[in-house]
Amino acid sequence: MAQTLDGKLVAQKVLAEVKAGVSALKDRTGTVPTLAAVLLGDFAPSKIYVANKKKMAAEAGIASRDFLYPEGLSQPDLLALLRRLNADPAIHGILLQLPLPQGCDEDEAIAAIAPEKDVDGFHPMNLGHLLAGAPTVLPCTPAGVMEILDHYGVELKGAEAVVVGRSRIVGKPLAQLLLARHATVTMCHTRTRDLAAHTLRAEVLCVAAGRPQVIKGEMVREGAVVVDVGINRLESGKLVGDVDFESASKRARAITPVPGGVGPMTVAMLMRNTLQAAKRQLQV
């Protein structure tokens, strides 16, 4: 049976480091890093994520301010809110919870956030720095994946790595981070022919397909390390990943569970990004 890569354990380690950093920053400057969360609409998963963020921020000593609009906002009003948060020196990080309600332009809204306050790492300028090999702010979920791999000593140099999923939130930035660590990276997606032919080559398989249990055990190489980024709720109410954990764990050397794998890392890395944003703005 495969080793379980415990994201909760790694997240607590990151959170302890952030808490120490927040305390040191407060002692040195009197400033408490502050994160503004903007949530439009009444999308249940987004509300859960924002609630988890608030709880973890409190644990780390980070202040949080929520801007909740269950009925949504018009695009002009959303942009005006983001401009106010950009101009507020007491706000160090801005989290714009995605997806936005229908009728809002996500690209325009993300680009309206000041790059130095973009703690999600989605601003075009920050993604450009990542592509150029000089990252400033790392997207939280891909950074969390890398943190798990590093914690468990997974060797990436020269490894065959396959990323299933090409979103700008996970797949594309994760591929760049793996390339920067000298892995040989293959990206797959919904139009990939014979997906199993690619996944069976993977020594490190990262799956962010957004489709429940799309990767079956017979698609996993013997001895592979599998990182399941997906989280899906079945009709039964059960939470599952994009990987069929039961069958995949019989072939993999190590695998992340769902829940308790990458999910906690996303919030932990958001806390790290918020601390780093505050330090950059204070120039310390």
Amino acid at 162: V
Coil/strand/helix, residue 278: helix
DSSP letter (8 states) at residue 234? -
DSSP letter (8 states) at residue 217? G
Question: Are the C-beta atoms of 227 and 183 separated by less than 8 Å?
Answer: no
Kindly give, in sequence order, each residue whose CB lies less than 8 Å from that of residue 175, ignoring residues fewer than 6 positions away: 163, 185, 187
The residues that are catalytic are 53, 97, 120
Kindly give, in sequence order, each residue whose CB lies less than 8 Å from that of residue 88, ignoring residues fewer than 6 positions away: none
Which among 137, 134, 144, 133 has a CA at the least distance from the CA of 110? 137
- What is the H or E stretch that residue 255 is in? strand 254-255
